[in-house]
Structure 1
């Protein structure tokens, strides 16, 4: 790429009529392909698996660690009467914006320093919004876009995909959790119990890929706290559920209803494919989220010459059946029939997991699955 071709990224999705050009843009096609490559690289791989980290990767992680230390050094303000938003976060964000060019320049090769004009805005937008003191899946997407741009520049290669997910993105996740808890950041555009999580989305995609093929942990397992605590270090998915368990109170089906529903999906491969469908529907195709996205020469709003079919329309190797009453959102699953299970009687039919009793205590505006046969 020519030296003078980089430009400060700008917002292009200014109204709902800009959504269609976004769906068919180079950025949409290439970003989704990038996420699929990252996803495929960690299928069946534990978070703690040995992997080679270059000096660049180590420096990148150290740089993220520095941000976490900044957050800890900034004294909090008194917000005794506020539920969300400690204004001390704005001091962190001000320091982040001021230091970001030097931070990135210190870890990136000199031959890509000309691209900092595009890279810095994605980096600073990755850690939340200072005006609203909030954080959400759109900010998370900015960090993934940053990694996408760095790979496009040749700083990272496809051989680094596994490391990008399980080392760099994993460290980013921990920095963001620290910011969320320390500064009481508000979820950006949260849909409450209808959202998969208040803040994150991507780790549920990558984490479900890590669990594909697992014989000891099935989707239903993450409803059990002891299993989650024991295995959280092996999968980003379980790690996120563990964080939810640590920060939320009350029955799981009430504070994380979507996750509760998804636990009835029979296997992780279907969970993973469903997560991609949900990510497109709940993040990439939601105007309140993508209106803040920025586009430049690396993440281009130009129309793709060969647009990739959306996950909604593309044929799948493991297609989901049409939605039926026992299916939820982007996920479809079959309910075992007690009539066809000779060992199951009415007294032994239980809910999937410990909390599946909502068919008799319906959650408002939610359709809960019928009883599952006890495995």
Structure 2
């Protein structure tokens, strides 16, 4: 395939051809209070793996955790519709800022553990293990310092997801499963009432999540982390997925003339990297990969032929479910506790069925 052979009319499968973005209903304030009250009396325990064989994926798909995860993703996606990353009107609550400050602290730790010489290391820099080791040592203190004492019992669950958010220290790799772990960490903070639905959503995406992605990218580059389970040129991105979802929502009805075809132009990603998470992700790819874009990022190249950001956004949701959340190699590492529960949800009746169908194309 060459640059001149790009399909201008990429076929969009029937199930994702609609412009409809996944629906979202604003949170009921009373339900938010009741949820936080219920969680405060929870018996917390160390999260553990529950997906040990491929047939367990159906259990996960019909669990309370799956619904909670998707509901949050839809809500956060909705919160940043048409919202530029550099918008000055986004209010950062003290609690969101405290978590952001932890990420800045973790960024500072990189200076304490500079990368080792790579002559004897083919993949991954072993200094990452020292950085991650300090995180394991300090995690309880980090969380106790920002949480009220009433939430300290929940640290046993919170820290499991936070520790899993920055990659695997044995393999020195990072992938979409680690990214998902950070979203679960955020979900738990909402369930505990530490973050407030609708009130904190915008800041959680364009401030907190963006800073998290920035930190993980630094770790990837400095410690030469391997992509976990990458599909190479057939993957959307070697390391992450969600910035493309949120970023495409930010680009809806933008007044800058940015259409899906715009991000494959060499000059625009750098110019608009601070505008949205999508173009920022493209700029990161452009600075870390060499060669023609259509060769190293073929999926993104094809997606650029989709006509509207609405279709890109709704299609990416379905692709994320198919290629990340329902893939055994990814979800087998998910951890479940009382806040992120593997228990079956009430509306889950029919068993999840596996098919050999190809993932949705957008």
Q: TM-score, normalised by structure 2?
A: 0.84
Secondary structure of the corresponding residue to residue 274 of structure 2: helix
Contact residue 265 and residue 331 of structure 1 kept, 8 A: no
- Given that 2:96 and 2:200 are in contact with CA atoms closer than 8 Å, whether structure 1 keeps it comes out as no
Distance 1:309 1:233, change over 3 A: farther
User: Is the Cα contact below 8 Å between 1:225 and 1:242 reproduced in 2?
Assistant: no
C-alpha separation in 2, matches of 1:42 and 1:94: 35
CA distance in 1, matches of 2:97, 2:359: 39
Corresponding residue to 2:319 among 263, 274, 278: 278
Instruction: Tell me the CA shift for residue 123 of structure 1.
Output: 0.3
CA separation of 1:41/1:2 partners in 2, compared to 1, >3 Å: closer, same or farther? Answer: closer
CA gap 1:10/1:58 in 2 versus in 1, 3 angstroms: same
Aligned equivalents of 2:44 and 2:53: distance in 1?
25
Distance 2:307 2:189 in 1: 37
Q: Is the 8 A contact 1:83 1:184 kept in 2?
A: no
Question: Corresponding residue for 1:222?
Answer: 263
Cα deviation 1:347-374 (Å, max 9, x = unaligned): xxxxxxxxxxxxxxxxxxxxxxxxxxxx
Q: CA deviation at 1:3?
A: 4.5
Shift of 1:77: 1.6
**Residue 116 of structure 1 pairs with residue 155 of structure 2:** yes
| Separation of aligned partners in 1, 2:212 and 2:162 | 11
After the TM superposition, which residues 1-375 of structure 1 pair with which residues of structure 2 at under 5 Å, given as runs?
Answer: 1=39, 3=41, 5-50=43-88, 51-80=90-119, 82-158=121-197, 159-215=199-255, 216-307=257-348, 330-332=360-362
Deviation (angstroms), 1:226: 0.8
Change (3 A) 1:296 1:85: same
Q: C-alpha separation between the residues in 1 aligned to 2:360 and 2:222?
A: 33
Using the TM superposition, give the Cα deviation of residue 109 of structure 1 relative to its aligned residue in structure 2, in angstroms: 2.2
Aligned-partner Cα distance in 2 for 1:229–1:284: 30
Count of matched residue positions in the alignment of Structure 1 and Structure 2: 317
Deviation at 1:55, TM superposition (A): 1.9
Q: Work out the CA distance in 1 between the residues paired with 2:346 and 2:123.
A: 44
On the 8 A contact 1:39/1:206 being kept in 2, the answer is yes
CA contact (8 A) 1:133 1:185 kept: yes
Contact kept, 8 Å, 2:173 with 2:228, in 1: the verdict is yes
Q: CA deviation at 1:307?
A: 3.6
Instruction: State how far apart, in whole Å, the 2-side matches of 1:191 and 1:278 are.
Output: 14
Contact 2:322 2:359 survives alignment (8 Å): no
Structure 2: tracts of 5 or more residues without a match: 1-38
Structure label with greater radius of gyration: 1
Q: Report the Cα offset of residue 309 of structure 1.
A: 10
The secondary structure found in structure 2 opposite 1:298 is coil
Normalising by structure 1, we get a TM-score of 0.82
Measured after TM superposition, the shift of residue 214 of structure 1 is 1.9
Secondary structure class of the residue paired with 1:164: helix
Report runs of 4+ in structure 1 exceeding 6 Å deviation. Answer: none
Describe the SS at the equivalent of 1:121: helix
Q: Shift of residue 329 of structure 1?
A: 5.5
Secondary structure of the residue that 1:292 maps to in structure 2? coil
In 1, distance between residues paired with 2:350 and 2:285?
Answer: 34
Deviations 1:168-187 (A, max 9, x none): 00000111011000000000
